[in-house]
Structure 1
């Protein structure tokens, strides 16, 4: 199966949904990954499609004209005191646009509250035909694979899944072998990017690199192939913010370079079958397949 790619919001931070859609089409992407949930960050535009009917019409028109589809929306962030129902309008908008997934992450240290909210978000999304994909973030409360799997197993929702971000996986110190313990059906897409192999020692520097200085796949850094070879073939959402390069090239050309370098890297590192060890101790040959 050919690889499919989505242009993620952070890669072209600040661009509106219609802009992103036209840009993605020109650069050769199959999907866009939008942020119609306003997060109130300093200087961040509000692209809440559910509240801005004109913007919703323009986004629909852009998708109709280009054939670019909506892969996912972000971010159903779970934090202390959040009411999961605040994400309902964005879910409705995503479903209206034909979206598939909603990205979520957990930023409260109250484990029970975090899991209860995540489960409720899954339940709210189910009537829309949407899945909720949990992304762990090394600077958040749920910051590694173990923590994310704890949430998913405890919540136990059939429309819940795990979204691996290459940067976050590496920074959290997770091992590629541990991906074999993840149920295959939890993988529906991933964030594709690269970064320096050295893990920053401070949270501030890690945050800066995370938001401003990720690298093209074909540059020296994380062993990306070792990670994606342990995951079924799924769409790749390219989340690769790099402020300097985006300013130098302009967003459209930068988005094109992100995609081209990703394709070059994946051509040089074709997907491989691998041997994993099953529960009864017998070697089992596991092949990657599209879900």
Structure 2
């Protein structure tokens, strides 16, 4: 009997927020079984009280996680999530950056929430400096309820920051819901290093609370909403990484959820194999 050999896995990632209830080890195994090639891990809370996990350098938990991820053949792409606000001190996060590098992550994700644009750009540059010492890069993501609200705001901060290892993270919901266009993306495609696929339906929310609710519990799998995700992916010709971020809501089985997200994303990307 001939056993079919599986083909190469598409370089598609999945964000930890898609199943944040799974600790890193379980998330790595479940994501690999769902077909993903890489994962993001949340090592820092995205907002007060938000779930996150710790994998300190030289700890047993980090060593065990790396062994499991290696065994599953899954890579660690990015680490979430840092809010650059008026209290942000880049050096205070070095232990987390070191932990990220230790497990093989390549990028760090941040958002900007400081009304002092000069200080925000300076703090991003300083955080990029910390990341660079560990061979890592930093991507800023716009969010409608933050100071860096639009994709245009992200580009402005990147231009002011000037760090070579700074880029933009484009999330489908945050990008389109806050007024950005495909033409705007094409004009700045070289700055976009990471795209997160997710979908949405209906009119864009108008209040911060409604935006937060949609982003955290109202997303749909790619292709199940109304966002032009195929155009979004086609507009970045510089090899931006692509992942999926659709939080699991309710009592859905995590593995079934991740498998559904993987299949849905493939429907958008239309791979040749």
Q: TM-score, normalised by structure 2?
A: 0.90
Deviation of 1:3 after TM superposition, in Å, equals 4.3
Q: Distance in 2 between matches of 1:267 and 1:80?
A: 42
Three-state SS of the structure 1 residue aligned to 2:270 is helix
Q: Distance in 1 between matches of 2:101 and 2:31?
A: 20
Please list every run of at least 4 consecutive aligned residues from structure 1 whose deviation after the TM superposition is greater than 6 angstroms. Answer: none
1:102-124 CA distances to partner (integer Å, 9 max, x unpaired)? 11111121211111110100011
2:151 to 121, 145, 160: 145
CA RMSD of aligned residues (A): 2.0
1:247-274 CA distances to partner (integer Å, 9 max, x unpaired)? 2x31111011011111123229x9xxxx
Deviation of 1:220 after TM superposition, in Å, equals 3.2
2:48 to 41, 51, 71: 41
**Closer, same or farther in 2 for the Cα pair 1:241/1:39, shift >3 Å?**
closer
Q: Distance in 1 between matches of 2:243 and 2:224?
A: 18
Structure 1 unmatched ranges of 5 or more: 271-291
Structure 2 unmatched ranges of 5 or more: 1-7
- In structure 2, the residue matched to 1:257 is 260
Three-state SS of the structure 1 residue aligned to 2:108 is strand
Cα contact 2:199–2:222 (8 A) shared by 1: yes
- In structure 2, the residue matched to 1:81 is 87
Q: How does 1:124-203 map to 2 (within 5 A)?
A: 124-184=130-190, 186-203=191-208
Q: Distance in 2 between matches of 1:187 and 1:207?
A: 23
Cα contact 1:213–1:242 (8 A) shared by 2: no
Deviation of 1:142 after TM superposition, in Å, equals 0.3
Q: TM-score, normalised by structure 1?
A: 0.85
1:183-205 CA distances to partner (integer Å, 9 max, x unpaired)? 52x22221111111420122212
- In structure 2, the residue matched to 1:230 is 235
Three-state SS of the structure 2 residue aligned to 1:14 is coil
- In structure 2, the residue matched to 1:23 is 30
Number of positions where the alignment pairs a residue of Structure 1 with one of Structure 2:
264
